[in-house]
Amino acid sequence: MVGRPEKTYRMLLADDDRGFRESLRLLFEPFFELLEADSGEQTIEIVEHHSVDIVLIDMHMDVLTGIETVQRIRPIIAAAPCILVTADATDELRREADVHAVLSKPVEKQELVTTVSTALHDAYDDPDPFHRWA
């Protein structure tokens, strides 16, 4: 783990629902550098050309699911935590998905912030990933 407390983290928002991406952008844009994708294929393309510190990804997108996309990007961004957001969160999905967390849509703002904070802390040993929020 590499501590990066002064770094602005780069977050990739991957969801085919533009409205949901917009709500995430409004929440995180003041504190992160954001990249957006509306498909699994676009997510892969972005990860191939940009460094990414954390990924929030929808389960149900055209062609590739969130899990299939994570499986393809994992070798490229092995250290970056991925958080799967889905309306179909089940215990089985939570066990089988190779992600930091599975969140149920609709997701509460505080749950999302806490999960992102924990993921960044775990991945980069950052004791206060949201120190810029103060």
User: What pLDDT score does 91 carry?
Assistant: 78
Q: Mean pLDDT, to the nearest integer, of 59-76? A: 94
Domains within the chain, CATH numbers bracketed: 10-127 (3.40.50.2300)
Rounded CA-CA distance 87/106 in Å is: 7
Reply yes or no on whether the pLDDT at 33 is more than 80: yes
User: What pLDDT score does 67 carry?
Assistant: 94
Closest among 107, 20, 110 to 61, alpha carbons compared = 20
- Residue 131 pLDDT grade (very low, low, confident, very high; cuts 50, 70, 90): low
User: What pLDDT score does 134 carry?
Assistant: 45
